[in-house]
Structure 1
Amino acid sequence: MFLKPGDWIKGESLDGELIIGYVDSLLPDIPDGAVKVTVVTSDNDKKIGKTIPFLSKQVKALPVSNVSNKTQIQFLIDLALATGDKEWFMKLSSELKSMMQHVME
């Protein structure tokens, strides 16, 4: 598996907790690979917002999806704000602005 920082993943902790988050950094010194994941959502609320290590075999990359409507972009903008990702926020805001201009034409 070839993960890189910023990739969205889903996985299961050793305690059986389901998580969705993004790769914060790689831990190449661990045999078979490992990543540090910033948890965005989980069935254990105490994990949300924390950055925790996972073995690469514990996680699976989520497919990249294309955003097609205003509601989806607004949700992702909220997510970008929650995760502090300024670059992603700016990109999404620009997409929303462009979408709104097309509607007004």
Structure 2
Amino acid sequence: MKHFNIGDWVQGNTQEGELVHGYIETVDPTRGTVGIHVIASDNEESVGTEVEVRRSLVKRLQDSSSYDKEQLNSLIDLALAARDEVWFMELTTKLFALQPGSKVKEAPMPAGAYMKNRLGFSLGENK
């Protein structure tokens, strides 16, 4: 059985057959479903809502550290749609680092920096 955590980026198909991309907001192990906050879908009415999808119809998206240029461009579009500035900056840094002759390096988060991820959880410290 697939195991998912809140915040995992996934794609899946609803029982109605629509393709959804987003992140997990809820996990219901008793029903075998996850609630996905939809960032992109072939049904535009679903974008911005939470849909319940059976775990067997969902797959976790791979870690962005191993994406190629096209995959990073697609994820950048998702980050823009989600209005997730931190994720957008992380992805664009990775994209620039793939450019031939690039001297772009991923910088660690500065000490005392305060950011929130797409779920509103703090990353770093607010001093």
TM-score (norm 1): 0.68
Query: Which residue identity is paired with 1:2?
Result: H
CA distance in 2, matches of 1:101, 1:43: 34
Question: Displacement of 1:22 after TM fit?
Answer: 2.3
Question: Displacement of 1:82 after TM fit?
Answer: 0.6
Correspondence for 1:73: 72
**Number of residues of Structure 1 aligned to a counterpart in Structure 2:** 99
Contact map agreement 1:24 1:38 (CA 8 A) in 2: yes
Correspondence for 1:22: 22
Question: Displacement of 1:84 after TM fit?
Answer: 2.2
Contact map agreement 1:8 1:62 (CA 8 A) in 2: yes
Of 11, 22, 32 in structure 2, the residue corresponding to residue 9 of structure 1 is 11
TM-score (norm 2): 0.59
Q: Which segment drifts farther, 18-27 or 77-86?
A: 18-27
CA distance in 2, matches of 1:44, 1:24: 18
Contact map agreement 2:76 2:91 (CA 8 A) in 1: yes
What is the RMSD of the two structures over their aligned residues, measured on CA atoms? 2.7
What SS class does the counterpart of residue 80 from structure 2 fall into? helix
Correspondence for 2:46: 47
Contact map agreement 1:24 1:37 (CA 8 A) in 2: yes
Higher helix share: 1
Of 61, 73, 79 in structure 1, the residue corresponding to residue 59 of structure 2 is 61
Contact map agreement 1:8 1:22 (CA 8 A) in 2: yes
CA distance in 1, matches of 2:23, 2:89: 20
